[in-house]
Amino acid sequence: MTKPTKIRAKAVDGIVDFRMLMRHEMESGLRKDKTGEMVPAWFIKEFRVFLNNEAVLVGFIGPTVSKNPYFKCNFEGKAGDTVKVSWVDNRGVKRVDEDLVKA
């Protein structure tokens, strides 16, 4: 199982400064291990960011993104709103994490 997504969401004047760190190995499928065997591809395919259960960001990524992807964006919101992040990888592993927007 993967570690929780680190979420930082801070509201200032009605704008949420949102940052997340998705903890994932993100293997491209092109690397070899110590024995010379190919390491199978394992990467996040899709992620979604919700504010109070309404999608504010949908992203599609793939094997070219580095380990532990970090994303930052801004959207309208206020302190006390709920931010939820969900993602799914190419092996079907899913993760959902949430936090409150801070002041």
Q: What is the pLDDT of residues 36-66, one digit of tens each?
A: 999 999 999 999 999 999 999 999 999 999 9
DSSP per-residue codes, 38-56: BPPPB-EEEEEEEETTEEE
CA distances to 14, 66, 86 from 9, in Å? 12, 23, 15
The token duo for 97 is 């994490």
Question: What percentage of the chain exceeds 90 in pLDDT?
Answer: 98
Q: What is the pLDDT of residues 3-30, one digit of tens each?
A: 999 999 999 999 999 999 999 999 999 9
**Cα–Cα distance measured from residue 90 to residue 93, given in angstroms and rounded to the nearest whole number:** 7
Domains, the chain, ordered by start: 6-100 (2.60.40.10)
CA distances to 39, 63, 67, 79, 103 from 34, in Å? 10, 20, 19, 48, 48
